[in-house]
Amino acid sequence: MPRASRLDLENALGKALVTQIFDDDNDGVIEDGAMQACLEYGDSEVDSFIYGQYSGQWPIASDLPALKFAAIDFCCAYAARRRPELAHSLGSEPWKGFHGAAVEKMTRFLKGQQRLPAPAPAPANVTSVVKVGGAIQPDDLPDRVFDDMGDF
């Protein structure tokens, strides 16, 4: 699921402008494929920064608000490039502004000027067998666990 949504893009640019930009056949309805491509673009741009830094080992939650807002800026840049004649109401070459803002955000995260939350460490008492969703039962443990327990 994309970090940004259609509603996020409408909140950023205004519903009327988003409808105009993504309505290819002028029927007043946003084209789903065009909107999906925009949202995927925002995600892929954010991911490219993170993957470049972390070599594909994702150490943080992907649904952090900070990453969502960077994705929204990338989506706004995509939208402005898609229909530049409509996006000029946002200023001259608005896609550069949105794209630049998103790149700056991601660069600050990667340089450590802004921090994303660290992943939660494993609890100190976790050493080997961990069962999610209930208590560990003797049947869950390997047989050798009880071999050297001695007499009680």
Q: What is the pLDDT of residues 22-60, one digit of tens each?
A: 999 989 999 999 999 999 999 988 888 877 776 656 666
What would the mean pLDDT of 100-115 be, rounded to a whole number? 77
Residue 36 contacts residue 1 (beta carbons within 8 Å): no
The predicted structure's pLDDT at residue 27:
94
User: What angle do the packed helices 6-13 and 65-82 form, to 10 degrees?
Assistant: 70
**Class of residue 74 by CB neighbours under 10 A (exposed 0-12, middle 13-18, buried 19+):** buried
| 3 state DSSP class of 120 | coil
Average pLDDT score, the chain: 76
Nearest-5° angle of CA 5, CA 75, CA 115?
85
Full-model pTM: 0.66
Assess whether pLDDT exceeds 90 at residue 107. no
Q: Best-predicted range by mean pLDDT among 50-54, 76-80, 88-92, 146-150?
A: 76-80
Assess whether pLDDT exceeds 80 at residue 69. yes
Is residue 120 very low, low, confident or very high in pLDDT (cuts 50, 70, 90)? low
Name which of 49, 108, 111, 110 is nearest 74 in CA terms. Answer: 49
The predicted structure's pLDDT at residue 115:
65
29, 33, 34, 37 alpha-carbon torsion, rounded to 10°: 150
Assess whether pLDDT exceeds 70 at residue 10. yes
Tokens 């530049």 label which residue? 84
The predicted structure's pLDDT at residue 134:
58
